Structure 1
């Protein structure tokens, strides 16, 4: 894996570093431009730059940014020195930019550790130059149709790219990605069926229904959503991985018993079953996605040899997913502003599923329309009809506001999902979304779901909403 540093490489890295200094003087931001420049000047730059002694990588369809940031937060608390692409790109150019911070002026290693979020599709390129010592794989799902319509395609890329000596941290509940543990050193994490949780949750999309080994029909023991759960094959004996670290219950200081599934937002600790017995950890999250993200980070550091006490102490100051979720309370209203990837039916379904169990009245603003004024080949509305919008067909959902140029397509999809037409309001201009809500007395949850490119307008809508609510207080 180690390549000699050529004259071309040394000249390139010196020029790139000078460019970064110039950009900082001009107060220009560029999370992966230095990497773009380095690759342009020296195509095998990533191969030639020296790597830290240890590399922890995080990949997967959903949750990789949150998990990578949480791993970095914990590592920082433990006093570790490292490079991390926290706000940078997870493609090759972004990895190069991050490694520039981990090396000396001429590209020799300087920091002992790198924590890298890596795009799952690009592991086939990046892993030719970088071999992670530990690789967390959060999950694998289909994504946008234009980018990744088949989780099995990404699975094959990863299986071909991950070396046999990389220690993989896999989700034992993911019927697809858990199979990457085969013939590799691995540690598995999972969440048992929690009190009050449905035995089988039906989803519009389920990509794993056949045995990964013999392709016979699977027998489900428990399905949380899509292909997340536990199954077995009666024909060949294949079964879901046994989790080395398994959450068995969630607790609250206000309750002596384990909390039911629909009270996840009230939990402040989790019980983890391990080979060493039961362990208790603090939990500062809101939903099942937060549980999985924290569990992945705990599993990594327990695998690295950190004790329960060390990890639990470090977790006390960490709030999960702050970069992807904002929660604000105004009077008796609780407002969630949450990222839900556009053109991605599973990501939207999972965020809806995270809010759905919260007791009490709920209203939703959907800013997940990614269409623009000019229709392009990417403007495909089919994904809307694959999202589990039936989650909004509930008595406690009083209004669903859909904003954007495709709002009428969303209306059709919501009607097909059984949502009462009287509850649906559409707005072509996303800025008008907050004005379409019902402003009534009493406590309730208001959820604003936004796609990545709608983040700026989601802040404007949230600000308008807060002003409305504060005026009524």
Structure 2
């Protein structure tokens, strides 16, 4: 275990009390995720500093993809016999990480496990990195996120540059000119996609955050753009530009469901987990982290055969020849929602899209900010293959307006102020497949809609 500062009596009393609290919460059927850690930090402000940490920590941060990448890294390590701590059932802020460490420590605050894989919210690194220092730190990408939390990607990059430990080896997106210039003095490797096909070609996005060189202000020259500012570029006036990639996807075989990746140790082949470009990036990111950790290509590839995307993120059921698909479109995150809209328009067949992306969590304590609607590429849904768009939720009139601004014919749009009722408006005579795009906090509604549509198909005997 990593040494921590000298433990105080307050720490020992806090730890004992919180362990009792965890038992009580678990007996009540609660996961004991945020609450124990929050209580511990409130009672003992330097709790994270005093509790022992695992010997080796892999941290994963970034705007999009960090949950999937964290889960994949943890699953592969566990499949290869590593007993790890993770926070997949906790939170990615300081209280969630504190809860995970408490659950895996002795009454004396000593760590029971040698390894940890921790998802870390990029904004919360100011409260985490002074005490929990990753040996390997993955940054998937940096984009605009919720305006209330993260504002602009350069703002978050500034926070990370101030907080990333100098001892952390960085695994960075070689095609993201924001994140791949983080902490320039740290040891690092880069990952990315080095091949072109119909699913990785450029898209005409509303947002492109990196247009001018941050060093000299000249307009950057892009060799290619995958989406938004993800691509390869160089400055014609100075040395700023994209780095060479150490881990690169060189071919994607959609038929055989394989991804071919070049690594510093040679070439390898792993299972293709999903067809979205974000799935490809998540795969090569995970491979880079695991090989840098020390796993062999054979071990990674073997474990990947058992992996799949979490059902809460993407789920597909087929009923009477029609696919009913739920897909997370992270609310208040214009890049994440744009990626899903772009993915849907390229999928085969005639489609209905159910949009339920209101942010319930935000609505609890404040007024939901919908400015992100206008940074999101809903124009991608203006496609001949999309026959219906059914909008559900309190904000459906605002979304209706945004879809009309995207050029979508009004006759294709249906508004419904109650999310579960959207299922009643799907016209199966017009569509082959239904895509239910939902926020993290509307997952329960997405499942209910999928179930309702399935029952409807079975009842009609289609």
Which TM-score band applies after superposition, normalised by the shorter structure?
over 0.9
Q: Show the counterpart of 1:458.
A: 446
Q: Show the counterpart of 1:68.
A: 70
- Write the distance in 2 (CA, Å) between the matches of 1:149 and 1:27: 36
Q: Show the counterpart of 1:260.
A: none
The 5 Å alignment of 1:274-289 reads: 274-289=263-278
Report if the CA contact (8 A) 1:82-1:102 is conserved.
no
- Write the distance in 1 (CA, Å) between the matches of 2:235 and 2:381: 34
- Write the distance in 2 (CA, Å) between the matches of 1:337 and 1:374: 23
Report if the CA contact (8 A) 1:433-1:461 is conserved.
yes
Q: Show the counterpart of 2:35.
A: 33
- Write the distance in 1 (CA, Å) between the matches of 2:256 and 2:69: 20
Report if the CA contact (8 A) 1:289-1:354 is conserved.
no
Q: Show the counterpart of 2:427.
A: 438
The 5 Å alignment of 1:310-389 reads: 310-370=299-359, 378-389=367-378
- Write the distance in 1 (CA, Å) between the matches of 2:195 and 2:110: 48
**TM-score relative to the length of structure 1:** 0.93
| Post-superposition CA distance 1:374-412 (Å, at most 9, x none) | 897532222112210010111111000001121111111
Q: Show the counterpart of 2:218.
A: 216
- Write the distance in 2 (CA, Å) between the matches of 1:190 and 1:288: 11
How many residues are matched? 459
| Post-superposition CA distance 1:53-89 (Å, at most 9, x none) | 0111111111111111111100101100111101111
The 5 Å alignment of 1:7-86 reads: 7-86=9-88
Q: 1:384 to 1:267 in 2, by over 3 A?
A: farther
Q: 1:440 to 1:172 in 2, by over 3 A?
A: same
- Write the distance in 1 (CA, Å) between the matches of 2:101 and 2:81: 19
Q: CA deviation at 1:113?
A: 0.8
Q: 1:282 to 1:374 in 2, by over 3 A?
A: closer
Structure 2: which 5+ runs fail to align? none
Report if the CA contact (8 A) 1:91-1:122 is conserved.
yes
SS of 1:464's equivalent in the other structure is helix
Q: Show the counterpart of 2:123.
A: 121
Q: 1:371 to 1:10 in 2, by over 3 A?
A: closer
Q: 1:75 to 1:459 in 2, by over 3 A?
A: same
- Write the distance in 2 (CA, Å) between the matches of 1:152 and 1:456: 34
- Write the distance in 2 (CA, Å) between the matches of 1:437 and 1:459: 15
Structure 1: which 5+ runs fail to align? 253-265
- Write the distance in 2 (CA, Å) between the matches of 1:133 and 1:101: 21
| Post-superposition CA distance 1:10-53 (Å, at most 9, x none) | 11101111121222233333211111121122111000000110
**TM-score relative to the length of structure 2:** 0.95
SS of 1:306's equivalent in the other structure is coil
